[in-house]
Amino acid sequence: MKIEWKIEKKRGNYRPVLKYGITLEDFEVDLAVPQVVLEEALPCPPSAWRSFCYPGQDERANTPTEWHRLVTPSHKQGTAHGELTLPWRGPEAGFDDVREAFERLRRDFEAVLVKTHDSSPLDLVENLELSEETRKHIAAGVASARFLSAVGF
């Protein structure tokens, strides 16, 4: 799985925007690895639909934040892209939490990948026939029916 991300923030009271893409490698798609979900991956600011946050409002007024989820792509699609608005922060704050969230997603995905890979392939062919006891029981009737049909009855 490959994860790439980019964070953009305009000068001023604008909130940073995280743009990311996650791509499964071919062997991960072939294994049908299930999706992994991080429910509380990254903080989501109040009024996240707004691209800005004024001083003294929302996260800059210590209003509790919600959470963004991060999800690996379905093996049917193989890729996922997203764009998340992050809480406003000053330039000194950094974005270590974004890296940590993607590292947690990767770690959880790798655990699922290992379990999925350990499910070995199988090609099992078996068969059953009539038991010897049943064959002996019906043999006389089958033989007489064949004899009668051979002579025209």
pLDDT in tens, 49-82: 999 999 999 999 988 889 999 999 999 999 999 9
Q: Taken in order 60, 48, 17, 24, is the CA torsion positive or negative?
A: positive
Q: How many domains does the chain have?
A: 1
Domain that residue 110 falls in: 2-117
Q: What pLDDT is stored for residue 9 in this prediction? A: 94
Is the model's pLDDT at 153 over the cut of 80? no
Cα angle, residue 73 at apex, residues 107 and 109 outer, rounded to 5°: 15
For the chain, state the CA radius of gyration. 31
Residue 85 forms part of a structural domain = yes
Residue 14 forms part of a structural domain = yes
Residue 31 forms part of a structural domain = yes
Residue 130 forms part of a structural domain = no
